[in-house]
C-alpha cells in the first residue's frame, strides 16, 4: 500500500484503521468502541478495553523468547555494561513492583522517578505500569526548585532515586538535591527508595528512606501479576515547559499509548523483534519514555540504555555500540550529531555499521549540513521526525515502514497517519492553503491514540493552553510556525510562544526569568533563545538592575546569576550570556518584546517598533551589542 493510501485510510476510516493497529498489542479484554469523541476536546480511545503496558513490553516476550536481549545497559561514566534478557527484565521488574507494593503503592498512586540512566530507572517505570501506578519521571539534570514544583504537583506516595548520577566523569549527587526539593515542597512522600551506586555518600532520613538493594532482597521471586487496566486509565505524567513558569504535567493513557507506540515502531522506526534499538535521549524526556523504554520493548526489541556523553571516552563511542550491539535503528538529536561532527568527523571510520538501517533525528530543527554530513558518513537514510512531549510519538515524518518516500532538504516530512495537520492563519482562523505560506501548525480532532489526554488535574489548563489559539476554531495548537510545499511536505519554522529549544531540550523562558529574578539585585529580566551553531539555541538573559552601577562587577554578577539558574532549574537552562541593560523593550501595554531582543542578539533587524513604549531602550541595547 502506498503511504498516501495508508494515510487517507487513517483519516477517512479511523475506526477501522486503529482497530487494525490495535492488534499489535495484547488485550486482556477487548474494547467495545474504538473512539469516543463525545466530550470535546477530549478524545478517548479503545473504550472498555483492558490491557497492561508492562505485559506488552515484557511478559509476552518473556513467554516466547526469554533468552533474547531486552535491555542493554552501557555506562561510559562508570565503565559498566549489563545485559538483561526478557527473563531477567521480568524478574527485575517484578522485584521492583513487589517493593513498591510493599510500601503501599497501588493503582492510581503516583511514583516520582528521579534517576540517572541506570537499569533501575527502567525497572521502576515498568513496575509502575505493571501495578497501575502513575509514574512521573523527572529529568535527572533538573535541580531542586524544578524538582520541588514537580513533587508538589504530582504528590507522589513514593520517590525512586539514586545516590548520584555522573556526567563527563563528574559525580552529581542526587540525594542532596532531592532532600532539598522535598523540604521545599509542601507535599512529602511517604518513602524514598534509593538505589545506592556507591558514587556519593548519603544519609537515610529515618522512617522515610529505604535502600533499594535491601528492599529488593526481601521481595525477590514474589510474583506480581500485571494489573488489567482500562485503556483510558493513566499510565504516566511527564512535565514539560510552557509559556508560564508552572510546568505542565502531560498526562497519557494506557491503551492509546500502547497502540500508537507499537504502530510507530512498525511503520516509522523499522522495528523487528530480536533486533536492537538505540535512542540516545534520557528517560527523563518524552523520547526516553517512548523510544528508550516502551516502544522498543513493545516491539520485542532490545533497547540500549546509554549513560554517558557522545564524546567520552572518545567520539567513536556511539559507533562502537552500534557495531557491538548490532543496532538496527538509532534515534538521536541534531545537537548530538553537530557535536560529533565538530569533535571527530572521522569517528565512525573503521566500524562495521552495516546493521544500521536508518538514523532518526528529532527534538529540534535539523539543518541540511548536519543531515547530509551524517547520512554520508553513516551511509544510511537520515529521517527527521517532528513531535512534542504532548503527542508522545511523531506528528510529521516519512514512515519508511509503509513506503520509503524521498526526503526533502529542510523538511520534517509528511503528516503521520492519524494526524490531521493543518497550517492556519493565527489571526483570522483561516486555513493557509497556498504552498510555502507560513502559518501556525495545528491539529484537528480527533487527536490520535497516544496523544496527551489532558494536563494532570487541570482540564481547564489543557483547554486554555492548547485549544484557544485560533479564533473561531477548536483546533490543537502546536505553537510551532511552519508551512507545507506543493507535495504536502512540511517545514517547521520555529515556536510561536516563549519556549526555547537548547540542544533539543525544551525550556520556558518564563521559568528561567523567574529564577533570575530571585536574585536580590535584579530589577527586571528577559530571556530569549539565540541561535547557536552547536546547540541550535542558547538562553541569553537581558537584565536591568535595581541600583544603577551595581553592574560594576558585571563578571561576578553574571556568574551569580548563572549559578542561580543552574542550582534552581539545572545546567541545561544556564544562560550563555547575561547582558546588563538600562531598560528592556516593551509594548505600550507593558508586554516584554522578546522577539525584538532576539533579533538584536542574532544581528537581525528587529522590525516594526511602532508598538514599542520606548524605542530608545532597544537602540541602546543594539549599540551595546555593536560595541561587543
d(CA 5, CA 577): 50
Identify the residue among 70, 96, 115, 286 touching ligand AMP (CB under 6 A): 286
Instruction: Decide whether 362 or 565 has the Cβ nearer to ligand AMP.
Output: 362
**Closest approach of ligand AMP to the CB of residue 536, in Å:** 9
Q: Which is nearer to ligand AMP, 49 or 365 (CB)?
A: 365
Q: Which of 14, 165, 288, 363 binds ligand AMP (CB under 6 A)?
A: 363
Least distance (Å) from ligand AMP to the CB of residue 288?
11
Cell numbers 518513602 correspond to 191
Angle ∠(373,375,504) on CA atoms, nearest 5: 75
Which uninterrupted H or E stretch holds 619? helix 615-627
Give the range of 70-78, 84-92, 315-323, 361-369 binding ligand AMP by CB under 6 A. Answer: 361-369
**Three-class SS of 450-500:** CCCCEECCCHHHHHHHHCCCCCCCCCEEEEEEEEECCCCCEEEEEECCCEE
Supply the minimum distance, in Å, between the C-beta of residue 534 and ligand AMP: 16
Report how far residue 537's alpha carbon sits from residue 602's, in angstroms, rounded to the nearest whole number. Answer: 11
Contact call for residue 598 and ligand AMP (CB under 6 A): no
Check binding of 362 to ligand AMP (CB under 6 A). Answer: yes
Cα torsion through 44, 279, 137, 469, rounded to 10: -50
Site residues (CB under 6 A) for ligand AMP, limited to 534-553:
none
* Cβ–Cβ under 8 Å, residues 319 and 268: no
Task: Report the residue number, 351 or 481, with the smaller CB distance to ligand AMP.
Answer: 481
Site for ligand AMP in 450-479 (CB under 6 A): 478
Q: How many residues bind ligand AMP (CB under 6 A)?
A: 20
Report the 10 Å Cβ neighbour count for 205: 12
Rg of the chain (C-alpha set): 24
**Among 276, 545, 238, residue whose Cα is nearest residue 392:** 238
Which CB sits closer to ligand AMP, 370 or 389?
A: 389
DSSP assignment letter at 577: E
Considering only 60, 216, 252, 506, the residue that binds ligand AMP (CB under 6 A) is 506
Q: Decide whether 367 or 458 has the Cβ nearer to ligand AMP.
A: 367
Helix residue spans in 269-363 (DSSP H): 286-288, 295-298, 317-325, 334-343
Q: Are 358 and 371 in contact (CB under 8 A)?
A: no
* Nearest-approach distance from CB 390 to ligand AMP, in angstroms: 7
Closest by alpha carbon to 279, among 210, 352, 362, 392?
362
**Least Å distance between CB 582 and ligand AMP?**
32
* Region near ligand AMP per CB under 6 A, out of 10-18, 122-130, 387-395, 559-567: 387-395
Residues 6+ apart with CB under 8 A from 403: 1, 2, 3, 6
Q: According to CB under 6 A, which residues from 176 to 205 bind ligand AMP?
A: none
How many CA atoms lie less than 13 Å away from 261 in the CB half-sphere?
A: 28
**Residue 495 binding ligand AMP, by CB under 6 A:** yes
DSSP characters over 202-217 = --PPTTTEEEHHHHHH
CB 387 to ligand AMP: min, Å: 6
Minimum distance from residue 478 beta carbon to ligand AMP (Å): 6
Phi and psi torsions of 212, nearest 5°: -65, -40
Told to check if 498 binds ligand AMP by CB under 6 A, we report: no
Smallest gap from Cβ 385 to ligand AMP, in A, equals 6
Q: Which is nearer to ligand AMP, 3 or 466 (CB)?
A: 466
Nine-digit cell at 603?
Answer: 544581528
Nearer Cβ to ligand AMP, position 87 or 438? 438
Residue 447 CB-half CA count within 13 A: 30
Q: For residues 533 and 608, which CB has a smaller minimum distance to ligand AMP in the complex?
A: 533
Q: Choose one: 274-282, 323-331, 359-367, 457-465; the region binding ligand AMP (CB under 6 A).
A: 359-367
Q: Cα–Cα distance between 297 and 72 in angstroms, integer? A: 12
The single residue among 280, 501, 515, 537 that binds ligand AMP, judged by CB under 6 A, is: 501
CB 131 within 8 A of CB 100: yes
Shortest distance in whole angstroms from residue 505 CB to ligand AMP? 7
Burial of 349 (0-12, 13-18, 19+ CB in 10 A): exposed
Instruction: Determine the Cα–Cα distance for residues 557 and 577; give it in Å rounded to an integer.
Output: 11
User: What angle is formed at CA 383 by the lines to CA 290 and CA 61, rounded to 5 degrees?
Assistant: 35
The alpha carbon torsion through 218, 220, 221, 227 (nearest 10 deg) reads 100
Nearer to ligand AMP, 365 or 448 (CB): 365
CA atoms within 13 A on the CB side of 534: 7
Per-residue binder mask for ligand AMP (CB under 6 A), 305-344, x = binder: ----------------------------------------
Could you say which of 174, 294, 386, 542 contacts ligand AMP (CB under 6 A)?
A: 386
Q: Please report which residue ranges of 132-172 form alpha helices under DSSP H.
A: 144-154
Nearer to ligand AMP, 377 or 412 (CB): 412
The HSE-up count of residue 441 (CA atoms within 13 Å, CB side) is 27
Q: CB of residue 13 vs ligand AMP: minimum separation in angstroms?
A: 28
> Measured from the CB atom, is 73 or 479 closer to ligand AMP?
479
Please choose, out of 299-307, 372-380, 386-394, 524-532, the segment that lies near ligand AMP by the rule CB under 6 A: 386-394
Contact region for ligand AMP (CB under 6 A) — 25-33, 306-314, 381-389, 587-595?
381-389
Answer yes or no whether residue 389 interacts with ligand AMP by CB under 6 A. yes
Cβ atoms within 10 Å, residue 497:
15
Taking the complex as a whole, the smallest distance from the CB of residue 62 to ligand AMP amounts, in Å, to 31
x/- mask, ligand AMP, residues 409-448, rule CB under 6 A, reads ---x------------------------------------
Q: According to CB under 6 A, which residues from 223 to 242 bind ligand AMP?
A: 240
Residues 475-494 that bind ligand AMP (CB under 6 A): 478, 480, 492
Query: Among 28-36, 214-222, 364-372, 610-618, which window interacts with ligand AMP (CB under 6 A)?
Result: 364-372
Binding site for ligand AMP (CB under 6 A): 240, 286, 362-366, 384-389, 412, 478, 480, 492, 495, 501, 506
Amino acid at each position: 500500500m502506498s503511504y498516501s493510501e495508508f494515510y487517507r485510510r487513517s483519516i477517512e476510516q479511523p475506526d477501522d484503521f486503529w482497530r487494525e493497529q490495535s492488534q499489535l498489542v495484547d488485550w486482556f479484554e477487548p474494547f467495545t468502541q474504538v473512539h469516543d469523541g463525545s466530550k470535546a476536546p477530549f478524545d478517548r480511545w479503545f473504550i472498555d478495553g483492558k490491557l497492561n503496558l508492562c505485559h506488552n513490553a515484557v511478559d509476552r516476550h518473556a513467554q516466547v523468547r526469554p533468552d533474547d536481549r531486552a535491555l542493554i545497559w552501557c555506562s561510559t561514566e562508570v565503565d559498566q555494561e549489563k545485559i538483561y534478557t526478557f527473563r531477567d527484565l521480568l524478574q527485575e521488574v517484578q522485584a521492583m513492583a513487589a517493593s513498591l507494593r510493599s510500601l503501599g503503592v497501588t493503582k492510581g498512586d503516583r511514583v516520582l522517578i528521579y534517576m540517572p540512566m541506570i537499569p533501575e530507572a527502567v525497572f521502576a517505570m515498568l513496575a509502575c505500569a505493571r501495578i497501575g501506578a502513575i509514574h512521573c519521571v523527572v529529568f535527572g539534570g533538573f535541580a531542586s526548585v524544578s524538582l520541588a514544583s514537580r513533587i508538589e504537583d504530582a504528590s507522589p506516595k513514593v520517590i525512586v532515586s539514586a545516590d548520584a548520577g555522573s556526567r563527563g566523569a563528574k559525580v552529581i549527587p542526587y540525594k542532596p538535591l532531592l532532600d532539598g526539593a522535598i523540604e521545599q515542597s509542601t507535599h512529602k512522600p511517604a518513602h524514598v527508595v534509593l538505589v545506592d551506586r556507591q558514587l556519593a555518600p548519603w544519609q537515610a532520613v529515618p522512617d522515610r528512606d529505604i535502600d533499594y538493594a535491601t528492599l529488593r532482597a526481601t521481595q525477590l521471586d514474589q510474583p506480581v501479576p500485571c494489573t488489567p487496566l482500562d485503556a483510558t486509565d493513566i499510565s504516566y505524567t511527564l512535565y514539560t515547559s510552557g509559556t508560564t513558569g508552572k510546568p505542565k504535567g502531560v498526562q497519557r493513557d494506557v491503551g492509546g499509548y500502547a497502540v500508537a507506540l507499537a504502530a510507530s515502531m512498525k511503520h516509522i522506526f523499522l522495528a523487528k523483534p530480536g533486533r536492537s534499538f538505540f535512542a540516545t535521549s534520557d528517560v527523563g524526556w518524552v523520547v526516553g519514555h517512548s523510544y528508550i523504554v516502551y516502544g522498543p520493548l513493545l516491539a520485542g526489541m532490545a533497547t540500549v540504555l546509554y549513560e554517558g556523553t557522545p564524546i567520552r571516552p572518545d567520539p567513536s563511542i556511539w559507533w562502537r555500540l552500534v557495531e557491538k550491539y548490532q543496532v538496527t535503528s538509532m534515534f538521536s538529536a541534531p545537537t548530538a550529531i553537530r557535536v560529533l561532527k565538530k569533535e571527530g568527523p572521522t569517528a565512525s571510520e573503521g566500524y562495521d555499521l552495516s546493521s544500521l538501517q536508518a538514523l532518526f533525528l528529532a527534538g529540534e530543527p535539523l539543518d541540511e549540513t548536519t543531515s547530509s554530513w551524517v547520512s554520508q558518513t553513516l551511509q544510511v537514510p537520515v529521517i527527521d521526525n517532528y513531535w512534542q512531549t504532548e503527542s508522545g510519538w511523531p506528528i510529521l515524518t516519512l514512515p519508511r515502514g509503509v513506503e520509503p518516500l524521498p526526503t526533502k532538504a529542510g523538511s520534517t516530512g509528511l503528516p503521520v497517519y492519524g494526524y490531521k495537520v493543518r497550517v492556519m492563519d493565527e489571526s483570522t482562523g483561516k486555513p493557509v492553503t497556498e504552498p510555502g505560506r507560513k502559518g501556525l501548525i495545528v491539529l484537528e480532532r480527533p487527536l490520535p491514540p497516544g496523544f496527551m489526554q489532558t494536563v494532570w488535574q487541570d482540564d481547564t489548563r489543557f483547554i486554555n493552553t492548547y485549544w484557544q489559539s485560533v479564533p473561531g476554531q477548536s483546533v490543537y495548537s502546536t505553537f510551532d510556525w511552519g508551512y507545507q510545499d506543493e507535495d504536502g511536505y512540511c517545514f517547521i519554522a520555529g515556536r510561536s510562544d516563549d519556549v526555547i529549544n537548547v540542544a533539543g531540550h525544551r525550556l520556558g523562558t518564563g521559568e528561567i526569568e523567574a529564577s533570575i529574578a530571585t536574585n536580590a539585585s535584579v530589577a527586571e529580566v528577559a530571556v530569549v533563545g539565540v541561535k547557536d551553531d552547536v546547540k541550535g539555541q542558547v538562553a541569553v538573559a537581558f537584565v536591568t538592575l535595581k541600583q544603577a552601577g551595581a553592574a560594576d562587577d558585571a563578571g561576578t554578577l553574571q556568574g551569580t546569576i548563572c549559578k542561580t539558574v543552574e542550582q534552581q532549574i539545572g545546567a541545561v537552562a544556564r544562560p550563555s550570556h547575561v547582558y546588563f541593560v538600562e531598560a528592556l523593550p516593551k509594548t505600550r501595554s507593558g508586554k516584554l518584546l522578546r522577539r525584538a531582543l532576539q533579533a538584536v542578539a542574532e544581528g537581525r533587524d528587529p522590525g516594526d517598533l511602532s508598538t514599542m513604549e520606548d524605542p530608545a531602550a532597544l537602540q541602546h541595547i543594539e549599540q551595546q551589542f555593536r560595541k561587543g
